[in-house]
Amino acid sequence: MKVIFISPAADIRRNPFYRFGGNVYGHKNNITGPLILGHILKNSGCDVECYEELYADPDYSKMSDADVVCIYTMTCNVKRAYEIADFFRNEMKKRVLIGGMHATSMPEEALCHADQVIVGEAENVIEDVIYGKIKDKIVYATPPQNLDEIPFPDYTLLKTPTKAANVMTSRGCPFACNFCTTSRMFHPYRKRTPDNVIEELKIYKKAGFKYVNFEDDNFTADKKRAKEILRKMIDNDVVFKETFFFGRTDMANDEELLDLLSRAHLRRTLIGIESLNQDSLDYVNKKQSIEDIKRCGEKLSKYKIKMIASIVLGLDYDGIEDIDKTVQFCKDINAYQLQPAVLTPYPGTPVFEQFEKEGRMLTKEWEYYDMTNVVFKPAKISPADLQCEFFKAAKNFYSFSGAMKTFKTFGFDAGMRRLGFWFFTRFGVPYFNHSSEKNNGNLFYRLKHGF
Ligand code: B12
Ligand code: SF4
């Protein structure tokens, strides 16, 4: 049986300008779910291929030999996912399965475009669904308990380019911030054993990957285990040129951990600073203090770990001055990159339920739910001002002098990348002003002139 997995990308993310920008931002990498599920199906005798639309435009009209088409969804790409699903079902007469983050929160919606929908982590059911043993239209999967028993992602199935291998050493997170989707999709929090992780890393080393990303939602949640993995990476010589990971400010309370992270080349981390307003941190249930954030800034630079500072714009207790203060803080601690994210009420999260109840949702056009657009009514700022703040935050952070400083601190490649950001972020505010005047149904016009 031939099975094809597709990870879709919204129209905007497939245009050449955006793809170029994406390459400036980081290394090409992939959602691991399809590569894991594909591996399970390959082991059961299927012929499997996986495609990632962020980096290529596969010609679906030539895929007439597929028996089943499996489509991954997250909220911002779901419009495109449904477009592909409709094409395969209606034009190519293929059987279509839909799964992933968005389908898990909105299974009935997804079922309008698929023969079956799988809710949740699909490892335990994918084979039975593909071979027709489970016939339910909506299949509720139980999450795998022992992550060591799951096959590793099989990169030989991937037919589109990639530069970094993604590794999930754990799933979920013991915290529960109110805007977070992953701590709800991947529940309960589960961990792989360090030896199992090392076994996977050895495969990527042998395959010649220079970059690996630890895509765990919170790699340092269990510090003892994280240290064990790092020690084993060093001892077994499975250290890569640079490994990215998602951390949390509390990791800076453990200097032994920071030292091991640095020695194992986990030297680029995304940290959820979110806001420098304690009321906002408490509102999102972040369980982190301003002191934690400041300490983290200092300690990461001591251990030469580059911080991608992630901040959330539009929290109920934040005004424009809070956003400005947070951006300035990220500049002051010499963060390597800034990731401004507009608060996005993803289906399935408490913040989605809150805004629904309060009648504050502005649109449910899911393609705008990519953390760069305002899709709800903020409490303290107008929607148009918040949208503008998003572009301004990026512009203020990526100054020319900051780029020069980055050349000195982090070297040529990092400096060039920062210069790229400086260039691109000059266009954000003019782009907003220009498109918010064009009444062609676009979101920015509606943000400025009303819905
Ligand atoms: C790696 C990653 C990326 C990579 C690669 C993504 C890609 N190629 O599209 C990069 C960095 C490029 C990226 C980009 C983006 N990402 Co991203 N990303 C991730 C991350 C960290 C890991 C994914 C992963 O491997 N998960 C682990 C595996 C085990 O889970 P899985 O892939 O979901 O698969 C399981 C199930 O979903 C299901 N399943 C999966 N596929 C299928 C298919 C079928 C048919 C079935 C039945 C089941 C099924 O079974 C699998 C096994 O259990 C997730 C967070 C997370 N924990 O998932 C965010 C995440 C998916 N990203 C997110 C976002 C918002 C984005 C961006 C919009 C960010 C931005 N502002 O640019 C873009 C959008 C890209 C796009 N495609 O349009 C959000 C999505 C939220 C939502 N509810 O929609 C997440 C959840 C992170 C978050 N902030 O909460 N991302
Ligand atoms: S700490 Fe990060 S991964 Fe954990 S619940 Fe909060 S936002 Fe989600």
Domain boundaries, given as residue ranges, for the chain = 2-140, 149-435
CATH 3.20.20.70 fits 2-140, yes or no: no
Q: How many CB atoms lie within 10 A of CB 20?
A: 12
Distance from residue 219's CA to the centre of ligand 1 (Å): 16
pLDDT score, position 222: 97
pLDDT score, position 440: 87
Which residues of the chain register pLDDT less than 70?
none
What's the rounded Cα separation, in Å, for the pair 132 and 129?
Answer: 5
pLDDT score, position 75: 98
Pairing relationship of beta strands 95-100 and 116-119 according to DSSP bridges: parallel
Return the best residue to mutate from 168, 170, 175 for the ligand 2 pocket (most ligand atoms within 8 A of CB).
Answer: 175
Pairing relationship of beta strands 170-171 and 190-191 according to DSSP bridges: antiparallel
Sheet holding 337-342, edge to edge: 164-167, 211-214, 242-246, 268-274, 306-313, 337-342
pLDDT score, position 334: 87
- CATH number of the 149-435 domain: 3.20.20.70
pLDDT score, position 45: 98
Distance from residue 409's CA to the centre of ligand 2 (Å): 29
- Residue 268 forms beta bridges with which residues? 244, 306
Distance from residue 343's CA to the centre of ligand 2 (Å): 14
What's the rounded Cα separation, in Å, for the pair 200 and 231?
Answer: 15
Pairing relationship of beta strands 306-313 and 268-274 according to DSSP bridges: parallel
Helix 255-263, helix 223-235: angle, nearest 10: 30
Question: How many alpha carbons lie under 13 Å from residue 114 in its C-beta half-sphere?
Answer: 30
Q: Give the containing element (helix H, strand E) for 423.
A: helix 412-425
Residues with C-beta less than 6 Å from any ligand 2 atom: 173, 175-177, 180, 182-183, 217-218, 248, 272
172 Cβ contact partners less than 8 Å away, ≥ 6 residues apart: 182, 183, 186, 187, 188, 189, 190, 217
pLDDT score, position 413: 87
Burial class (CB in 10 A: 0-12, 13-18, 19+), 145: exposed
Q: Whose CA is nearest to atom 85 of ligand 1?
A: 182
**Dihedral in degrees, nearest 10, Cα atoms 154, 160, 163, 165:** -20
pLDDT score, position 428: 96
What's the rounded Cα separation, in Å, for the pair 366 and 407?
Answer: 38
Six-digit token pair at 93? 């007469």
Which atom number of ligand 2 is nearest to the Cα of residue 180? 8
